[in-house]
Structure 1
Amino acid sequence: MMETKSRKVILVGTICYTTFILFFMFFAFNRIEGATSVESYTFMLVPEGVPLLFPKLTFMWLFSFGNIAAFIPFGILIPLLYRVRFGKFISLFVLTILVLETLQALTYLGSFDVDDVISNTIGAAIGYVAYRVGFSSNISYKKLMASGLTIVVLLFGVMVVSEIIKKREGPIHSLTDMKEMTGATPVTENLPSFTVAGERIEPKMNVYSSEGESTKTYNYILGNKEDVWLYFYFGIPDNGDFKGAVKIIVDGQEIAQLNEQSYQGAEALRELPFNEVNEITIIVSGNAKLWDVGIRGMQHWWE
C-alpha cells in the first residue's frame, strides 16, 4: 500500500499537472481572443489523419506529438492514486476527454476534434502500460528504466503504424485510364505536336480537341473517388482561328471554363482538387486543345 505522504505528493502533482493541461486546452494560443470571432460551434467527428508520423521539424508535428505525450503522465499518476484495471481506466479517460472536447467547442475556446480524442487516449494508454512495467509494484531503478524504454518503444510503434496507414499522393495517371462511359475518345497514340504562342508543345499522354467539329464531349466515370486532383494543360494552337473553349464539368457542376479571352498563350500545368468525384465531363469546342490530362488520388503505400 502506498505511504500516505507519497500519496499526498502524487495527488498534489496530479492536480497541478491537470491544471496545467486544462490551461493549455482552454486558454493557451490566444483562445480567449479567438472565441469572440467565432460564430458557430465546431465539431469534427470524422478522423482526418493519423495521430503521429515520423519526426519533422515543424510546429504541426510538435503539436501532434504533444497531443500524445502530454497525456502519458495520466496513465501513470491515476493508477498510482487509485488501483484500476485498464478497461475501466481507459473508459473513464475517454469519457473525460469527450466532455472536455465538447466544452471547448461550446465555449468557442477550441473545437471538438475526434483526432485529438484518439491522440490523447493513445497517450494515456502508453502511460498505463509504462505504469504496469515500472510502477505497479516494487519500484526499482531497473523497472523505471524499463518503463521509460517502454514509452519510447510504444511512441515509435505509434509512428510506424501511422506511417503505414497514412495515405499519400499517388502518381498522375492519364484520365483515359479511367472507365469511359460515353462520348468521344481523345488521341492517345502518335500524339501530334503543335505550337502555342510560339512554344512547341509535345504532349506525353493524351490530346483532347474538337477534331474539326463544333464541339466534342468526353465523359468518364471514376466511381466516387475521394481526395482527387485533376491535372491538365490548356491552349489554342497558333495555326487556325484563335477561337475555342474548354468546359470541365464534375458531377453535373461546371467548375472551369477556359477560352481565348481568359487564357492567353501556353499555360502551365494546372490542377483542380476535389473531395469526391464520380463523373468528369470535358467539352471542347473550336480550335482549343487540352492535353496531358491526368488524375491523381491519395493511396496507401501498398496500393
Structure 2
Amino acid sequence: MEEKLRKILFVATILYTILILYFIFFAFNRIDGAIYQATNKLEYTFMLIPEYPPLDFPRLTFGWIYSFGNIAAFIPFGIFIPLLYRVSFRKFISLFVLSILFLETMQALTYLGSFDIDDVISNTLGAAIGFYAYKVGFSSKITYKKLILSALSICVLLIGVMVISETINYVIEKKESSIQALNEVEEITGSMPITENLPSFTMSSERIEPKMNVYISEGDKEKKYTYILGKKKDVNFYANFGIPDNEEFKGEVIIMADGNVKVHNSEEYYTGVNSLSMPFDGVNEITIIVSGNAKLWDVGFSEMKHWWE
C-alpha cells in the first residue's frame, strides 16, 4: 500500500474510532443517566448472560436497527485494521475482543452504560465479518470484481447471522405447556373440588361436561379453596363458571391472587357459560370462593417454558 494512501486510511480509522467511542460513551443521553446513577449511588450493571440472538430478520423497529448497528458499525474495523497492519485472524479477533471487553467494562464503571455480553458478541461478529470481507476483496490486488465480491460476502454473512438468530429464537422460544388442573398444586384449606365422577349440567341450553374439576359451595354456605402456586413465572389461569338452568339463579364466584380480587361475578352478571383466561405471573397464592348455586369448573393453569424445562 502506498504511503500516502496508508496515511489517509490511518486518519480515517482514527476518525471512525472516535465516532464509535462517541456512540459508546456519550450518545443517547448517557451523561445525564450517568449523573443520575452516580448521584443515587446505584449499582454497576454487568449483564454476563446472553439474553437474545444477535440479529433477527429485518423489522421496522428501533430495536432491530440498534441490533443491526451493533454489528454493522464494527465491520469497518475488520477491514481497516488488517489493511494497516498485516495480522492473522486469530490475533486480530483476540485483540478486538479484549478491546471491546475493556470498553464495556468502562461503560459500566463510569455509569455511561452497562457491560452487556450481547454487545460484545454483536460487535465481534461485525469485526469478524469485516475481516472476511478484507480477505475476499482487499488482501491482495484490489479490483472492482473483488470489491463487489467483498460487498456480497458481507451481505451473505449478515443474512447468515439472521438465519442462525431466527433458528436460535425458535429453539429457545417459550412454548405454552398443556393446561394443568389447579387442584394438582399445593392446597392449604382442606377444601377439595370434585375431581372424580364429575357432574354434568346445562347452562343456557348448552350441555356442560367438565373434564378436570368442579368447584361448588356447600348449600347456603360459601366454600373457600386456597392454593399455593409458588410465584411461577409466565402463568396463564383458566376457568369456566356459571349457574345451571335448572337451579335457582343465585350465587357468585370470587377469584383472588395474593389477596387481590381478580374476578367477582354474582348472578346479575351471568349470561350462560362464562370463560376466563388471565395472566397470573409471579402469583403465590390463589383463592377461590364459590357461593349459592354457582359452579366453577375446569380450573387450571398453563406455563410458558423453554424446551429444556
Shorter-chain TM-score: what band? 0.7 to 0.9
Which structure has the larger Rg over C-alpha atoms? 2
TM-superposed CA distance for 1:229, in Å, is 2.6
Identical-pair percentage:
45
Mapped pair 1:173 → 2:172: no
Residue type of the alignment partner of 2:278: R
Mapped pair 1:3 → 2:11: no
Q: Secondary structure at the match of 1:139?
A: coil
List aligned pairs for 1:181-260, cutoff 5 A: 206-207=212-213, 209=215, 212=218, 214-216=223-225, 228-233=234-239, 242=251, 245-246=254-255, 254=258, 258=262, 260=264
Aligned position for 1:295: 302
TM-superposed CA distance for 1:282, in Å, is 5.0
Unpaired runs of 5+ residues, structure 1, are 249-253
Unpaired runs of 5+ residues, structure 2, are none
Deviation readout 1:249-281 (Å, 9 max, x if unpaired): xxxxx58665749xx95685310235xx9xx87
Q: Secondary structure at the match of 1:37?
A: helix
CA distance in 2: counterparts of 1:179 and 1:87, whole angstroms = 58
Residue type of the alignment partner of 2:304: G
The change in CA–CA distance for 1:119 and 1:24 in structure 2 (over 3 A counts) is: same
Aligned position for 1:271: 279
TM-superposed CA distance for 1:173, in Å, is 2.4
Deviates more, 1:152-161 or 1:237-246: 237-246
Aligned position for 2:62: 59
Q: Secondary structure at the match of 1:47?
A: coil
Alignment length, in residue pairs? 283
CA contact (8 A) 2:177 2:305 kept: no
Q: How does the TM-score come out when normalised to structure 1?
A: 0.76
TM-superposed CA distance for 1:37, in Å, is 1.8
Q: Secondary structure at the match of 1:23?
A: helix
The change in CA–CA distance for 1:103 and 1:220 in structure 2 (over 3 A counts) is: closer
TM-superposed CA distance for 1:234, in Å, is 7.5
TM-superposed CA distance for 1:92, in Å, is 0.9
List aligned pairs for 1:2-41, cutoff 5 A: 2-38=1-37, 39=40, 40=42, 41=44
CA distance in 2: counterparts of 1:150 and 1:204, whole angstroms = 60
TM-superposed CA distance for 1:22, in Å, is 0.6
Residue type of the alignment partner of 1:168: E
More strand by share: 1
Q: How does the TM-score come out when normalised to structure 2?
A: 0.75
Residue type of the alignment partner of 1:294: F
Aligned position for 2:97: 94
CA distance in 2: counterparts of 1:51 and 1:65, whole angstroms = 8
Residue type of the alignment partner of 2:180: L
Q: For 1:106, which of 94, 109, 112 is the aligned residue?
A: 109
TM-superposed CA distance for 1:141, in Å, is 1.1
Residue type of the alignment partner of 1:273: D
Q: Secondary structure at the match of 1:297?
A: strand
TM-superposed CA distance for 1:104, in Å, is 1.0
